[in-house]
Structure 1
Amino acid sequence: MRYVKLNASIDASSRLRSLQQRTGLTPNLLCRVAAMLSLEEGPVGAVRAPDDKGREFNSYTLTGELTGVFGAIVRFVEEDEGRGEPLSNDEIVTRFAAHIHRGVGLLSVRAKSPADIVRLAAA
């Protein structure tokens, strides 16, 4: 997966601000946890985040040296076990953004304190 910048949705950006206040974690770390929560739930398919007008993240800040790992995980979850065409880089990035959007929604319900993030990461 290659990208320079990724924009979160307005809704996700608002929820990230709230999560940051409750947990003390930075939005990029919260997005990583949110993406992993969403990936655990399964594919988002062709569903996209409702918009890309929210907070902007550059690739180094959001995924850093783990960009390839996140891309591989998204590809693994999203591709239909070899049936059909492999997803393009742009589609992988779009689905990664959709996973962040869905995951932030899940995280905003499940995380009320820093201890909740630790519990989610350990599960």
Structure 2
Amino acid sequence: MHISKFRISSAATGQVRIVAQKAGLTPNLVCRMAMLTSFEAGPVPGTSPEVQDGQEFNAYTLFGDFQPIFLDMLRFVEFGSEPVDVEDSVLLDRLRLHIDRGIRQLSVRIKSPADAAELLAGSI
């Protein structure tokens, strides 16, 4: 699967802006951190939120050269190590859910650039 554009929910968009401002990071880096934070917590339950009004990212801006790695991690977290045939739309929905959950987690943990640095260093 290859993604060219990716839209997050409007709720996540607002939280990404707030966390990005507090952390002194760009929204795409905050979304990457949110994905990884959520991946650590395991599979995410639920259905994907409405994304019509959310921020849209160019996939390269969001993932960089690491798009295949992020998508493989998503598959592993959601479906385990066994190969599973899943539709691209389902994977994108799961990814949105991970960003939503991860940004909620980050909004509690990051209050300053120092908090972001500590999180990236694995201290918090």
Q: TM-score scaled by structure 2?
A: 0.88
After superposing on structure 2, the runs of 4+ consecutive aligned residues of structure 1 that deviate more than 4 Å are none
How many equivalent residue pairs?
121
Distance in 2 separating the partners of 1:61 and 1:48: 25
Name the residue aligned to 1:97.
Answer: 96
Name the residue aligned to 1:13.
Answer: 13
Name the residue aligned to 1:122.
Answer: 121
Q: Which runs of 5+ in 1 are unaligned?
A: none
Q: Does 1:4 align with 2:4?
A: yes
Q: Does 1:68 align with 2:58?
A: no
Structure 1 contact 4–58 (Cα < 8 Å) conserved: yes
Distance in 2 separating the partners of 1:24 and 1:49: 28
- CA shift for structure 1 position 80: 4.5
Distance in 2 separating the partners of 1:23 and 1:80: 32
Name the residue aligned to 1:49.
Answer: 48
Q: TM-score scaled by structure 1?
A: 0.89
Distance in 2 separating the partners of 1:64 and 1:94: 20
- CA shift for structure 1 position 63: 0.3
Distance in 1 separating the partners of 2:116 and 2:42: 20
List per-residue Cα deviations over 1:59-113 (Å, max 9, x = no partner).
0110021000000000000004539x43232222221111111101111111001
Q: Which runs of 5+ in 2 are unaligned?
A: none
Distance in 2 separating the partners of 1:86 and 1:79: 10
Same amino acid, percent of matched pairs: 41
Distance in 2 separating the partners of 1:81 and 1:68: 15
Q: Which amino acid aligns with 1:43?
A: P
Worse-matched range after superposition: 113-122 or 61-70: 113-122
